[in-house]
Amino acid sequence: MPVNAELLKRGAKRPDLLLNGDKRRHRRLPLSIAGRFMRADRIDYDCQLRDISVGGASIMTQTHVSEGENIVAYFQNLGGLEGTVVRTHDQGFAIQFRISDHKREKLAAQITWLINREDFPDEFGRAHERLGMAGRKTTLKVEDGIVVDVDLLDVSVSGASVGTTARPAIGCEVSVARLAAIVRRHHEKGIGVEFVRVLPEASLRAHFP
């Protein structure tokens, strides 16, 4: 079955869910994503995510770091993750995140989406028929309140695809045409979002005439 976000937020309660005997509070899941991280010198270094939980991550890199260092790691679809190096290993290091509860909730949703998308692709297809909207414009409001004009590529009662250079992280809350939505995917032209509530057909036409 697909991974549930709640599993990522619970402490591991069985020995087989603990890695290398390390009593982590959160279950780590394998997830490989290329990225970069920044140290106090504000220089970007290449890295690769190896596994992650809402509490921390294991990161592979050829750059030597020291325990206790504060870093900010950036991964596509996850955004920036601030943390402290808690140990090093032959292939890189492990960090413990320093993030708010709100960010932790969002991170759980992002990890869940990424893992389920890879392991269960057939379960994440579009549930409703999309209507082509080529040439039409709408608005996208991101978390910091900025509103930008975007190209409306297609829309359904449950979501939309918009053309934009903006790439809010997967799991972020946004609004499209003043409809609350969650970013579910990135594509070459922009982003795909899922509306918080499925729209009645009449409401869809009202928002996207």
- Cα dihedral across residues 12, 13, 19, 25: positive or negative: positive
**pLDDT per position as a tens digit, 70-89:** 999 988 778 889 999 999 99
Select from 175, 168, 198 the least CA-distant residue to 106: 168
pLDDT at 101: 87
pLDDT at 55: 92
Range 5-101+111-121 classified under CATH 3.40.190.10: no
Q: Where in the chain is the domain with CATH 2.40.10.220?
A: 5-101+111-121, 126-207
DSSP 202: H
Q: 140 in helix, strand or coil? A: strand
- How far apart are alpha carbons 209 and 206 in whole angstroms? 6
- How far apart are alpha carbons 125 and 120 in whole angstroms? 10
Percent of the chain with pLDDT over 90: 33
Q: Write out the two tokens for 183.
A: 């970013």
Select the CATH number that applies to the domain covering 126-207 from these four: 2.40.10.220, 3.30.479.10, 3.90.1150.10, 3.20.20.70.
2.40.10.220
pTM: 0.52
Pair 99, 84: CB distance under 8 Å:
no
Backbone angles phi, psi at 45, to 5 degrees: -125, 140
**pLDDT per position as a tens digit, 54-65:** 999 999 999 999
pLDDT at 208: 77
pLDDT at 127: 47
**pLDDT per position as a tens digit, 147-166:** 999 998 888 888 888 999 99
Q: What is the mean pLDDT of the chain?
A: 79
Select from 67, 2, 64 the least CA-distant residue to 29: 2
